[in-house]
Amino acid sequence: MVRMAAVMKRVLVAAVFALAGCAGYPLQEPVEAYVADVEPLPGEGLEVRMLVKLRIQNPNDAPVAFDGVAIAMEVQGRPFATGVADIRGEVPRFGETIVGVPVSLSVFGVARRAVDAIAGAYRRGRLNYELKGKLARRDERPVYFESRGEFTLPEEVFGGTN
């Protein structure tokens, strides 16, 4: 019984030290990233290239330095485009920055997804998108982000039926 009490005491002491160690790490809220703009880029062969400009917001009390960005986009639940950028920067504490990431997709993929998306959107007038990505950081774990939303198509495209 005495031995069991000693073991329990050691476990309790270890738990207290573990919790005290965790208290030293500030709680971090996730960074937010939104598509701010999309610009066409020259393509090569059978691919379409675009520059996706992301607005990255940091709701934390410490800046987030990064040295690379990777993103993947889905439209209507299907893979649409991916891209990476070997860029360095910093999102200031309680601040934001805009980062451009070139993305690519095949012409065949664009045509197929456009037909699928417009056919589905014709009934609703909206396209769902999802963006996932990460900010790479030297000697630290990457900062992951994701965002979802809807694009509303102009009435000329979907005939005004909502």
Alpha carbons 117 and 124: distance in angstroms, whole number: 11
The predicted-structure confidence for 92-151, as pLDDT tens digits, reads as follows: 999 999 999 999 986 666 666 666 655 655 455 577 889 999 999 988 999 999 998 876
Domains located in the chain, CATH noted: 28-158 (2.60.40.10)
Q: 128-155 burial, b for 16+ CB within 10 Å, e for fewer?
A: bbebbbbbbeeeeeebebeeeeeeebee
Neighbours of 23 (CB within 10 A): 9
Alpha carbons 13 and 55: distance in angstroms, whole number: 45
123: phi then psi, degrees, rounded to nearest 5: -75, -30
- pLDDT for 10: 61
3-state DSSP helix/strand/coil percent for the chain, to nearest 5? 25, 45, 25
SS3 40: strand
9: phi then psi, degrees, rounded to nearest 5: -65, -45
What is this structure's pTM? Answer: 0.70
